[in-house]
Structures are given as structure tokens and as C-alpha cells.
Amino acid sequence: MLSGWPREGERRYQAKGFIDVDPVLRHLKGVIDPFFWHEATTGQTEGRVVMDKARVFGLRQGFCVPFHQHDGSEACISFGGARLELSADEQAALHMIAIYAASTATAITHPHSQAEPNGRTRGDLTAREVECLKWSAARKTA
């Protein structure tokens, strides 16, 4: 799980096993198009606690882009915040950004699954690349 959510919120999410009852994760299994979080919580009472806890950390609304992998697994990229009002163009832009981010995350987390044209596999990240990614994850802008 790659995350940019508040650290304490992510820690609680993991510790309480919310991944098993998260309505967004359950919903993505049955859809291929991006969706808003509120579409996933309709009629689900056990997943409501996950969404209530997210609100404590300022994550009241969200937009999720699902990915269905060739091996049968699912993944998603969610954008969330206190308010999220997106036009159709903004939704399309986030969809494209998510596709690019998912591809890049796969390349970073599974560097040897990407073969170079000459048959060699890509090497690991340099120490500087890892440092820059950590700074980006900490929301450093310079």
C-alpha cells in the first residue's frame, strides 16, 4: 500500500484491519470506471465506521480510480479531502493522472518486472532517487 494520507490515520487504518471492510475497496471490485466515495458507501453499515474515521483526518470526500490487474488483483488510486467538487474535465484529468501514477508506482515497486529492450532489467533506484521520493511523500515542494 502506497499512501499519502495522514500518517496517524493510515496507522489506525492498518491496525484496525479496515482494509477488510473499507467500502471503497469493496466497491472497486465491481466497477471499472472512476467513482466518488459516497457511491461506495450506499447501504453499507459495517464500512461506515471506516468513512467516519477518515473524516476525523479531514478526508470527507473522495474520488477513486480502480485498476484491475491481469493477475486478477485489484488496486486503486484515491484522491480525497475535506471538499471535493470536480467537473467532468477535472474527473477526466484525475483519471489520467491516476493511470500514470499507477504505472509509475508499479515500475518503482517492481523494478525487475520491466525489461529493457536489450533484455536486461532496470536497476534499483539510486539513493538520491529514494531520497527525492521520500521528500515528495512528505509533501516537500523544493
pLDDT in tens, 24-81: 988 988 899 999 998 987 766 777 888 888 888 888 899 999 998 878 888 899 999 8
* pLDDT tens string 1-13: 667 777 888 888 8
Cα separations in angstroms, 29 against 1, 64, 74, 123, 127:
17, 12, 7, 33, 36
Instruction: Tell me what pLDDT residue 139 has.
Output: 79
The 10 Å Cβ neighbour count of residue 53 is 15
Global pTM reads 0.68
- pLDDT for 130 equals 83
pLDDT value of position 105: 83
Strand arrangement, sheet containing 61-68: 35-36, 61-68, 74-81
Q: Give the model confidence (pLDDT) of 87-140 as tens digits.
A: 999 999 999 999 999 888 888 877 665 555 555 455 677 888 888 888 888 778
Q: What is the dihedral of CA 125, 126, 127, 129, to 10 degrees?
A: -70
What does the alpha-carbon distance between residue 115 and residue 42 come to, in Å, rounded to a whole number?
Answer: 43
Read off the C-alpha cell for 141.
515542494
Domains and CATH numbers, the chain: 7-137 (3.30.450.80)
Q: What is the pLDDT at residue 122?
A: 55
Count Cβ atoms below 10 Å from residue 86 Cβ, excluding itself: 15
